[in-house]
Structure 1
Amino acid sequence: MPPRSLQTAALGMQAQQTSIDNIANNLSNANTTGYKRSRVVFQDLLYENVQASAEGQTDGAEPAELQIGSGTTAVATVRNFSQGSFSKTGNSLDLAINGDGFFQVQQPDGSLAYTRDGTFTLSSEGNIVTQTGLKVQPNINVPPNAVEISIDQEGTVKARLQGESEMVELGQMELARFPNSAGLRPQGGNLYEQTESSGEPFIGTPGRGGLGNVRQGFLEKGNVKVVQEMTSLIQAQRTYELNSRMVTTSDEMMQTANNVKR
């Protein structure tokens, strides 16, 4: 049977590899609109009572036991939904949320997904959609003869039609807010889906009920802090190397023990 230290160090290397994989994903999305960085959560594994506590102590102290742990494992990734900085684009359909909340989009199967990425455009039918063609909900249709689109901080969409001087109201955007945003499950494509952990969404008008305001002509950058991620990368790499050294040390000790038997 291999020594406990060999198994524990191997688990440590596996855990740090998971951490490095997560850091690599954060860094690769540093310039992704609305991306929220994540971190890996670790837990120690089962402990074994190698030796029971000594009996007969009279000083009233709690008897100590000899326990050896089995290493560590990655159990979850926790996403940080702190606000990213804004980038001005000047495009009328680029929107950023200043505060809490998510845009709602309808997926091909009819279910709703949620995003902080407000890089919107118009479909061939005039609907406001994401870059992949998903309709923003509530659905708002822009007439083909619209020459100007205005979206105020409360999400009211207006357009000036060709030959007209007054703006015409087209619809009202709504945002979704969750009791526990960290419980949302990422789907890829800058989308999140609701889970039991996230809770039921509160749907409302931007700027009301704790929801953030809408900023037209801006996009929210990802909240990845490159310097912080590089520091975490160095720490994970060093920890991986130490666990690798432990594997080598355990192997050398096994060889020494085998030589003694000879």
Structure 2
Amino acid sequence: MDRLIYTAMTGAKHILEQQATTSHNLANATTTGFRSQLDSFRAVPVLGDGLPTRAFVVDATVGTDFSTGSMQSTGRELDIAIQGKGWIAVQKPDGSEGFTRHGSLKVSENGILQTHSGLNVLGDGGPITIPPDVSITFAKDGTVSTVPSGSRPNAVEVVGRLKLVNPPEDNLVRGDDGLFKTKDGASVDSDVAVVVAGGMLEGSNVNVVESMVSMINLARSFEMQMKLLTNAESNEAKASQILALS
């Protein structure tokens, strides 16, 4: 009975946490470039006096599904999408380097190329400056070119190249701001093999149907854990009655 209570109690607790993760994924089903979060359970024995009959159920390290999302054509000149593996390097508010797949970019009032949330997009030499009154194009290798408004198409000027990186996925962690970073927080060198597509955005890789089914299964699992606790309470009450009669 002791083992049953510990298993059911911790199982119910972490099912609620897994439901929160699934709800978070569903809430970001339409977020550009979002990578769904993964949860898994593992058993941990309770150490202490007495027989080792008790075990906790805890969440294993939360992981990430790095599979690519669907490509969506927008026709907007400041929209880009990574084709296959890779990330866009951005400058976080603390000056460190972060990685994102959200390619909806903009130009700030000061002419700095930024993400939709206002973070500076990094180039090979730092933030990229865009001159005023120009049309912007992105090459497959991340080269940023501009053409002054009203000029001939051959009056192209290269203003920089996006810093495109592809660090090992097992070395990436998701921050509280939604950006990814390396486990040690170090910057990563550019990868010339990363390819971008202009005028497109990558959708979320969340499978809505699978997530909804997971929510239903988790709800049923939670009910089962509650029934186990109820049964344990009932068994304890009956045991106490038997002991009292004896």
TM-score above 0.5: yes
1:206-241, Cα deviation, whole Å (9 max, x unpaired)? xx2xx2x11111111110001111122122111111
Aligned-pair CA distance for 1:260: 1.5
SS of corresponding position for 2:72: strand
Aligned-pair CA distance for 1:177: 1.1
Structure 1 counterpart of 2:64, from 53, 73, 79: 79
Which stretches in structure 2 are left out of the alignment for 5+ residues? Answer: none
Task: Decide whether the 8 Å contact of 1:94 with 1:118 is kept in 2.
Answer: yes
Residue identity opposite 1:168 in structure 2: E
Corresponding position of 1:168: 157
SS of corresponding position for 2:144: strand
Distance between the aligned counterparts of 1:186 and 1:33, measured in 2?
17
Distance between the aligned counterparts of 1:186 and 1:109, measured in 2?
13
Corresponding position of 2:29: 30
Corresponding position of 1:238: 220
Give the paired residue count. 238
Corresponding position of 1:95: 80
1:83-120, Cα deviation, whole Å (9 max, x unpaired)? 10011111101110001111111122211111110110
Aligned-pair CA distance for 1:69: 4.8
Task: Decide whether the 8 Å contact of 1:102 with 1:177 is kept in 2.
Answer: yes
1:56-103, Cα deviation, whole Å (9 max, x unpaired)? xxxxxxxxxxx7451411121110110100111111011100011111
CA pair 24-182 structure 1, distance change in 2 beyond 3 A: farther
The TM-score, its normalising length taken from structure 2, stands at 0.89
Give the structure with higher Rg (CA). Answer: 1
1:154 maps onto 2:141 in alignment: yes
Residue identity opposite 2:226 in structure 1: S
1:191 maps onto 2:179 in alignment: yes
Aligned-pair CA distance for 1:12: 0.9
1:154-208, Cα deviation, whole Å (9 max, x unpaired)? 11111111342122221111201112256322332x4122214x98634133xx2
Distance between the aligned counterparts of 1:50 and 1:110, measured in 2?
52
Which stretches in structure 1 are left out of the alignment for 5+ residues? Answer: 52-66
Distance between the aligned counterparts of 1:71 and 1:111, measured in 2?
38
Structure 2 counterpart of 1:114, from 94, 99, 106: 99
Runs of 4+ aligned residues of structure 1 deviating over 6 Å after TM superposition are: 47-51
Residue identity opposite 1:142 in structure 2: I
SS of corresponding position for 2:61: strand
Identity of aligned residues (%): 28
Corresponding position of 1:56: none
When structure 1 is superposed on structure 2, of 113-122 and 169-178 the one drifting more is: 169-178
1:3-40, Cα deviation, whole Å (9 max, x unpaired)? 33122211110121111111111101101111101111
Task: Decide whether the 8 Å contact of 2:91 with 2:119 is kept in 1.
Answer: yes
Residue identity opposite 2:203 in structure 1: K
Distance between the aligned counterparts of 2:197 and 2:59, measured in 1?
38
The TM-score, its normalising length taken from structure 1, stands at 0.84
Distance between the aligned counterparts of 1:68 and 1:243, measured in 2?
18
